Structure 1
């Protein structure tokens, strides 16, 4: 069983890849989530540990709510509201968030 992180876009994925030190699949919602998109994702989601890590803004909150309705077993990761976006969250803060969620993270010097 692998880990999957649902993010809003490529910049979120790129920022998280700077921190992660284990293989993780990413699913980019591009800000929306349709039934068709969930069907496309079904193979990754069936036997995976699913996380959602989206921006701390209205679109991110709406996406989080929608995913929680469709995938109630999802684990929620949150950036601090002061940073609003994953892409602008400092690396050390992302490291702390992911480490707390039991991800392997890179040692940042």
Structure 2
């Protein structure tokens, strides 16, 4: 049985969502990489007020920029991290490459 996560989880893309939903019953919002829109930020703000938000972006420079922007815009979000070495293939780094240990 999957564990349920009440908070909205912010990820960068659909592969991140697919990976998380393999292991958890959860809702996500995708930033589409660094192209986060004002509409997405407003959705995150609304979720923070009603259910809470967990930011779970990739352990790389763009992921850190997205995390910083959201934390500045929407105070009080929780931050989840995966170590770079646990989220990589030979050429790529990302949440979607992490194993269940996340």
For Structure 1 versus Structure 2, the TM-score category normalised by the shorter chain is 0.7 to 0.9
RMSD: 1.6
Displacement over 2 Å in runs of 4+? 32-37, 39-46
**What is the TM-score normalised by the length of structure 2?**
0.78
**What is the TM-score normalised by the length of structure 1?**
0.73
- Whether 1:90 and 2:99 are equivalent positions in the alignment is yes
Matches of residues 1-109 of structure 1 in structure 2 within 5 Å?
2-20=6-24, 22=25, 24-31=26-33, 32-82=35-85, 83=87, 84-91=93-100, 93-94=101-102
**Structure with the greater relative contact order (CA < 8 A, sep ≥ 6): 1 or 2?**
1
User: Which ranges of structure 1 fall in alignment gaps of 5 or more residues?
Assistant: 95-109
Query: How many aligned positions are there?
Result: 90
User: Which ranges of structure 2 fall in alignment gaps of 5 or more residues?
Assistant: 1-5, 88-92
Aligned counterpart, 2:90: none
